[in-house]
Structure 1
């Protein structure tokens, strides 16, 4: 393969990965985004493989910046979700499922909690309690 062909191949991979990342950020599913970006249907069946690695993470960050995404915007969406309500009959009630999901995401983003989906039976949850809070009376940490 000539250097020019290698360069063109690398450019095509970059174009496809950026297009896929942009499509995901705009709300499409990973599979639909992969097909739209030009990946084969076979590759699109396992989009998680296409999303792995530091290069795709960089592409996702670029696409997020292009679409106006920022840490502040993400925090605002999570904060709104933590106040989610739903209509039951004619009453607004807390939407606990959405609120719990937002709280988990917020805790993970803050580094307070990490959920390990690769744990053998159930997800492993690791909670980091700052030293000042551990004995503040807000937490009961007895054995």
Structure 2
């Protein structure tokens, strides 16, 4: 059990929240489903004081029903994931830009993406994206 797990489980036990691990995320996450808006506001107020946690409130706006899910992630892991995704996006944009402006030349576009990855010191991410063994 990690420090993140201990912290979230401790908060949940102290405040009697029903939490569950959230699946299909790149990093470990927990979800809380509040019963109403008042409970949502109370939970988010408590979680916002924890600087080591990243909190997302996901709501579906429907004229028929109100649903809300609060996702809790480790702040450091969230920031690392965001940095990784920005790097991936920059490499892909370099490929797309070179592909469109250089007459749809695949090899030239891959070279441009490799150069962008080298500039960002992210050749490992380039290898992941283009399935090139390191």
TM-score band w.r.t. shorter chain = under 0.3
> Counting strand residues as a fraction of each chain, which structure ranks higher?
2
| RCO higher in structure (CA 8 A, sep ≥6) | 2
Give the TM-score normalised by the residue count of structure 2: 0.26
